[in-house]
Structure formats: structure tokens, C-alpha cells
Amino acid sequence: MLVFFLTGYLFELSAQTNIYTADLDTVFVQISRQPSDVKTMPYSISIVDSNSLSRINNLTTIKDLFNSVPGMNVSNRFNPSQGDKIIIRGIGSRAQFGVRGIKILLDGIPLTFPDGQSQLNNLNPGGLEKIEILRGPNSTLYGNSSGGVIFITSNVLSSNGKIRISPEFNVGSFGFRKYSVGLSGKFLKGAVGINLFTVDYEGVREHSEAKFSGINFITAQHLLDDLKLNFVANYFNSPYLLNPGSLNKRDAGENPEKARDRIINSGSGKDVEQLQAGISLRYDLSSNSVFNTTFYGIHRSLLNAITTRVIDLERFSYGIRSTFSFASEFSLGDINLITGFDYEVQDDERIEFENEGITNSTSIKADEIFDNINYGEKILEQDEVVKSVGVFSQLEFLPSEKIKLIVGLRYDSFNFEAADNFLVNGNDSGERVMDKLSPIVGASYKFSERMILYGNLSTAFQTPTTNELSNKPDGAGGFNESIVPENIESFEIGFRGSLAAIGLNYDAVLYKMNIDDVLIPFQNDFEETFYRNSGKSTNNGLELSLSWSPFNAATAGISYTYQDMKFDEFLVERNNQSIQLGGNRVPGIPKHYFNFRFNSQLLYGLSAEMNFNAVSRIYANDLNGPAPGDSKPKEEFINDGYSVVSLIFIYSTNFGLGKANLKAGIENLFDKQYNGGVVPNAFGNNFFEPAAGRSFYLSLNFNIN
């Protein structure tokens, strides 16, 4: 009914509203490690701007941030302990928690640790200004990332120099409560911003409660006319993020709110505290040469209870990222050169104990769980150190106004060291050294200001994380010697532009990725997760994005993703048989993903947006079905496709001190029962993570100047 109402309203509005003219204006992005005009870059890049971010409805997940981005699928696992799963072009599906294979930066400071794992606990979805996404491999600029790059800018400095206070109150289904306040304004020779937030969440399922809070601080200062400084600090604290685990197909369908007894009795979940800070300096050496450097450090304390173990981890990480860029004009054409290095260190102190469970677990409150876990014998104590060094250069050559050519090369070296401090079964100390040379070549051709053809050949790699290396199937200390990094060769060709007469922007990309040694998770009888390399796989894909603004008051958009990711060769042992899985689909990855969105200004400060998301079925294990001799039906190994609709209404009004915004939203409008996430190769066929039914959210925000 809403769609029909909006359509009718727009036809009426067209009689009094001028047609909106879309244009590929010059938009500069930072994701290329220097300001670059996005329309001529030979990469697949998407931008989620402040207008889109202001319409985010469900702040319990980051999924809504990326609905409109083709090639990118975010699974809301409804599990704060594990976090949402981000997949770009099939990369990232193996993550048991956090984000894998994708480099993520917040205000220029890496959220990705040197071993390639990202934690998004300290990311506040309601405090963001802009997100840039580079889809596909680009290890030349960023090193240890095979899926792409996400560059996030917070909004704490968006007050334009005025003092601004922004309190916000959010409530929603399943006991969701979030309170935040932002303060920003002019400070010394620049600006300063601070944002505080706290969240309580009862959760969609049993044993899924969460409580956390955070502080984000940033200041940008002009120390001299040609010297700028940014300082960023983030603090996150969560006394509990409980993990409800996954279910088999039958339980997920008949009782999706439940958590298995093994999960509850073990107190599965996390207690996390993290402090991160960084300083970035930009020095303009001349009108055409710039030096940038960033120093950062992170301390993370983690207590992680899983079904068989309790993991106590102290992590210290620090690094320096520096670039020098130079631009000049020559008779043969313009050149832009960027060169630099990254040096990063990650130092973990890991202790693991047997988890003997909780006595009377059903009577224990969420904030008392970790104090009531019975610790068994110590089974592991080791120091794990990762040191990485990367040096790179990339040259852009513009022989004419229509053509841009790029060529780049990077060398990375990683040293993983494990020092066994337990020494019960001998000395399991060990060292792994991994290095990689990553080239890229690309080009773009400007048919006109509104029509660009682009393409590139690139490579990427992804090392195993310390968690993946230290989880050895034999239970010993040290690092697993049998797993090696993933390696990717990628080709893509794309077409982007606009049709100004009808207000249409478009982007279409075809790509092919050849992947060697794909890392695939599997679980043992105790639901402990381990990893193995799968041989070779291929991902052929298509990404389409259309945005249509026929009037100033309305925008419609479509994004579609096709990704056909299959094993080329993968030999496994099942029930004393050797099985060749070549031709099977890589688990955890949907073949099709579709989003349609429509937003419109209605009357008297009221606007509305509808989002329709559809995801095709997903295979849950490497076999794409039961093992030989297993009589279970194939459907128990497949996550059914689903489609969901969400609505949000926003009312904005000015008052004496500033502006107020009231948001009311409905997620899963038609109360569809589906599974939001898949755990590939989970033991006991417990692959599925049920999603929430119909849910409601309400938000009130003030911008007081």
C-alpha cells in the first residue's frame, strides 16, 4: 500500500517539481590513499553518503549500512558476540567472528589487525558520515586483504565549526535501548568532536543478551599552513556479549528463539575491552607533493568462552603507515605517483583453560555468567607475535584527458612467531614466514563526462590469522604448519556513468577471480573450529547498480549481485572415502543478492523509505549435501532463499535551538521466518543462525547549535 501511495504522490508532485538532473560530479575519495576523483578510478568503488546513513533504521546491525552496495552481502547473525559477517565477492564467508579478508579503516586508523582480522565492536553505526568501499582485490595499496577495503569516516567533525550537541535516544524490539550524545565544534586551529554511546540488548534468541558502551574522540588541527594533524581515540567496553550459537535446519524452523543446552551451559560469549588511538600527519611539501604518516596503537582484552575452552587473550598492536605522493605535468601527459610503506606489530598473550561449564546456568543472570564459569585445567599458554612490513608504489599516467593508466607493485613480508610457555607436551614454539609480491595494472577511458569504461588486472593474498593458526586439530601449541595463505588473481571490467536527462546513474561490473588455497573452516565433535586449504576455486561475478532520481523529492535504487563461486579441485576424506568436490559451490555464499530501495519526501518534513532485500539459497557445507552413507535429506544442508521488506519514516522539524529528527521503522514487515547467517561446515549440521521476525525501532535525535 505504501508503494502505491508514494507512486501516486509522485505523479501529483511532478506537476509542481522540476526534474532532478543527475551528474557525475567530481567526488574525491580517500580509499586510494590519496584524494582521487572516483569517476576516473579503474576500480569498483561504492560510496554510502551521509543522506543514506541518516536513514539507517536498525542500529543493532551494520547490515543496513551496505544494503545498496553491489558485490557486498552482510549477514545479520543476530549474534552480538560474533558480529555481522561481511562478504565481498565471496571473500569473508569463513569468518567465525569479526571480519576476514577485508581491510577496514575508521578515520584513517586501521580496525584490521596485522594478521588480517577486523573487529567492529567499537564502530557506532549512528555516528558515521561517509563510507567508501573498494570492491575486489587490491593488495597493492593495502597488503593483507583479498576481498576489498572499507574506509569509514565518522561524523563528529561535521558541525562546520559551530558548537553542536546531538543527543539521541533509540528503543526497539527485543529490549534494544541505545543512548548517545555527540559534542563537536571549533577548537584551537581546527575542530574537535566526541561521541558517547551505551547499548542494552536482550537479544532475539535465548542466551543472546548484550551490553556495551563506547567513546569516540577526534580532533583535526592546522598546526601550520602546510601541516595538518588528526588525532583519533576510541574506547569500547562490553561486560558481556553472549553467543546463542547456531541450530540445525529443523530446530531453526520450529524453535528459532532457542539456544542449545551445550551453548548455554558453557556460558558461550565474550567479555571485551578495547582502547585504540592514532595520530595522522599531513605535510604539504609543495603544491604538488604531499607526505602522510599515521601512528596508531590498540590494546584489546578478551575473555572468550566457547563450548570446550575459555580463552583469555591480551592483545597489543601498533603500527606506522606512511605515503609520499607527487603530481606533475609532462609533455607526454600528467603523472601521479604514490609510494609508501606499512609496518605493523601484533603481540598476543594467549591462555586457554578447559571449560567445565556453569552450575545452574538457567538461573544465572547475563552479567554474572563469566564469574560463574568453572575453569578446568590449563591447556595452552603461549605468546603469539605477528610482524609485517609492506612497501609499495603506484603510478598513474594520464596521456590525455580521456585516458588514465595505472601500474603498481607491493611486497609484503609476514613473520608469525609462537613462544610456548606451557611446555607440558614438549616445546611447541614455532615460526611461520609468509611473503608476497602483489602487482596491479588498470585503465579507464572517458567517453564523455558522463560515461567511463574501466578495468584492471590485480592480485591479492590473505594470510591465516593467529586464531586460525593456533587452533590445531591435535590440540598442541604452536602454529598449524599445514595451512598457507590464500592467493587471488582477479580481472574486472566495468562501465559507470549517468543519463542526466532522466536523472539516472549506473554502474556495471564483470569480474573473474581465480583463488588458490581457499581457507575453509570445519568443526570437530566438540564444535571447535579448525581450518584447511581447499585447493582451487573460481568466482565469476556480475554487479549492477542503478540510482534514479526523477524528482528532487524522490530516489529509487536497485543493486544486484551475481557470484558463482565453485571449487575447481578439492579432495576430502569422508567415511573412509576420497571425494572430489570440484564443481561444488563454496559454502556460505549466496549466488544472487538483490536490493530495491525507494525513498521520498512526503509532506511537512516527513519522508519515508522502503527497502526490499532478496537473497538466494546458500549451501552450508563443502559437500553441498550429506556425506556418503548419510541418509539425511539434502535440504538440511541448504539455507533457503528469502526476501524481507523494511520501512522507515523520518520526521524533521526546526525548533528554537536547532533541529529534531524522529525516526520510526519496521524491520521484516511481513514477519518472514528465515536464517540470517550460515556457519559453514558446522558440526552436527548446526549451520543456521535464525533471524528476527517483525521488529520495531524508534529514534529521537536533536542537533542543537
Q: Is the pLDDT of residue 384 over 60?
A: yes
Q: What is the pLDDT of residues 539-572, one digit of tens each?
A: 999 999 999 988 778 899 999 999 999 999 888 8
List CB contacts of 331: < 8 A, sequence separation 6 or more: none
Q: Which residue has the higher pLDDT, 333 or 456?
A: 456
pLDDT digits (tens, 9 = 90+) for 588-609: 999 999 999 999 988 888 999 9
DSSP string across 241-282: EE----B-HHHHHH-TT---HHHHHTT-EEEEEEEEEEEEEE
- pLDDT over threshold 90, residue 424: no
pLDDT tens digits, one per residue of 475-486: 777 788 888 888
- Tens digits of residue pLDDT in 82-100: 888 899 998 887 777 778 8
**Average model confidence (pLDDT) for the chain?**
88
Is residue 57's pLDDT more than 90?
no
Grid coordinates in use for 230? 588528526
Start-end of H helices in 173-260? 249-254
Q: Which of 18-22, 557-561, 645-649, 651-655 has the lowest mean pLDDT?
A: 18-22
Contact 77, 83 (CB under 8 A): yes
Pick the CATH number of 2-704 from 3.40.50.300, 1.10.150.250, 1.10.10.60, 2.40.170.20: 2.40.170.20
- Overall pTM > 0.75: yes
pLDDT band at residue 159 using 50, 70 and 90 as cut-offs: low
Residues in contact with 380: Cβ distance below 8 Å, sequence separation at least 6, in sequence order:
350, 351, 352, 422, 470, 477
pLDDT of residue 20: 33
Percent of the chain with pLDDT over 70: 95
Summarised one tens digit per residue, pLDDT across range 373-382 is 999 999 999 9
Residue found under cell 536482550: 202
pLDDT exceeds cutoff 60 at 450: yes
Question: Is residue 206 pLDDT above 90, yes or no?
Answer: yes
Nearest to 273 by CA among 324, 325, 306, 237: 237
* Phi, psi of 12, rounded to the nearest 5 degrees: -70, -40
The pLDDT value given to residue 161: 63
Binning pLDDT at 50, 70 and 90, where does residue 5 land?
very low
3-state secondary structure of 340: strand
Of 130-144, 272-286, 347-361, 431-445, the range with the lowest mean pLDDT is 130-144
Listed range (130-144, 192-206, 227-241, 276-290) with the worst mean pLDDT: 130-144
Lowest mean pLDDT among 19-28, 303-312, 330-339, 580-589: 19-28
Which pLDDT band, with edges at 50, 70 and 90, does 7 fall under?
very low
11 pLDDT band (50/70/90 cuts)? Answer: very low
Cell 614454539 belongs to which residue? 429
The β-bridge relationship of strands 148-154 and 102-106 is parallel
**Mean per-residue pLDDT for 478-502?**
89
What is the C-alpha to C-alpha distance for residues 355 and 548, in angstroms, rounded to an integer? Answer: 55
Percent of the chain at pLDDT > 90 equals 58
Model confidence at 13, in pLDDT bands (50, 70, 90)? Answer: very low
Which residue in this structure is represented by grid cell 614466514?
Answer: 433
Return the pLDDT at 667.
Answer: 94
Among 43, 28, 45, 35, residue whose Cα is nearest residue 327: 35
Q: How confident is the model at residue 14 (pLDDT cuts 50, 70, 90)?
A: very low
Residue 519, pLDDT > 70, answer yes
Averaged pLDDT for residues 144-149: 85
Q: How far apart are CA 483 and CA 475, in angstroms?
A: 15
- With a CB cutoff of 8 Å and minimum separation 6, the contacts of 451 are 495, 497
Predicted confidence (pLDDT) per residue in 609-639, tens digit:
999 999 999 999 999 999 888 889 999 999 9
- Give the pLDDT confidence score for residue 422 in this predicted structure: 85
> Which grid cell sits at 280?
595522522
Residue 617: the pLDDT is: 96
Check pLDDT > 70 for residue 162.
yes
